[in-house]
Amino acid sequence: MLSTAETATRVWILRHGTSTFNLEGRYQGCCDAPALTETGRRAARLSGERLRDAAIDAVIASPLRRAVQTAEEVLEALHDGTTRPPLKTDARLREVELLTWEGLSFAEVKRRFPEQHSTWCLRPYNLRMRSSSGEGRFPVRSLYRRARLFLSDLLSQQAGKSILLVTHGGAARALITTFLNLGVRYFHRIQQSNCGLSRLCFLPGADQAVLELLNDTSHLGEALPKLKAGKTGVRLLLIPAYFESPENCLHLLGAFERLPVDCVFPVSPAGRAVAAAIFRRHSEPPCRLYERNVENALRNVLKNTPAGRPCNVAVVAPPSFVRRVLQEQLGLANTATLLRLHRLGISIVHCPGAGASPVLQSLNAFEPQRSLSGAYI
């Protein structure tokens, strides 16, 4: 439990709801043509309801229409007829400027700009585009400069408060990786879905945050955050296990009702007890492996997954083992200073294979909504 919960600064980050361009598969960038869809409005209202117990002190949004519309729906649901704080906007929360791509379909960009598209996918920080004046720019590097400036002002002006930022997918990833001091090379290593909720905590005097929640979409009725179209590989579902009663994890049953789980790897007696409680609807789990061989078995699964739909692999293990998996897959030196695991959440790593880097899809999804300062390790 955080002993300084009252003085910590908590930053919630929400990506806007589904927009017209999201549905059409178009690059948005800083283009202000896309508007929120009705699906996006419903998701924004659900997000507001999810945040009612979060004691939000201020809401700051990107000035782009889809973000402002999302923030307005959130505020309406968040305060439910009571007096609400004014909505502020900050241009530094705008999406990455993709200049010549904005408004074009994903397929058209891939066809017309194959080299740039490849750079965007593999080394986005090296993507260079010409502006209307002919000047060369690096959009992702510019986005990170904005994020650093915003962070500096936020910590000086909103210290000790709980702040909600309503922004965009790329901007959210830049903010989160900047707040964690991970930098531009992690731009594509985390996911932020439409109306996915993330939360970071800054202790007094700290210049680096701790990530408490990433891309939780459970309030939208989704079993897990959606993968992008065409993504396959392995999805690791990491569930911390303790010697306490496994019934404490039964709220996770709903996450697996509509989700096929291909393998279950229980580690330690606590892992076996929790796995049995969560996956008891199976007559026997698809795969039972024990601590002495689970790491090798996991590596084999990651190497030999056949093409087709993603393979969902549940790992139910002590926190130290979960941290080791996160550290290895994400290339982090020390997850303890960056990621705070919740006793009752699921963390998800997507391993696409074919040489692509693993992506942290979610951290602590399905955490109990009233648990902000307790139950972390």
Catalytic annotation, residues: 16, 95
Helix spans in the chain (H): 20-24, 38-50, 65-79, 106-112, 114-122, 139-157, 169-179, 268-278, 294-304, 319-330
- CA gap 163, 173 in Å, rounded: 17
Question: CB within 8 A of 18, min separation 6: which ones?
Answer: 36, 37, 39, 40, 43, 194, 195
- Candidates 173, 149, 302; CA nearest to 235 is 302
Reported as half-sphere exposure (CB side, CA atoms, 13 A), residue 73 has a value of 26
Q: Taking Cα atoms as reference points, which of 203, 119, 196, 147 lies closest to residue 365? A: 196
Look up residue 266 and give its two tokens.
């229980």
**Measured distance CA(203)–CA(89) in Å, rounded:** 25
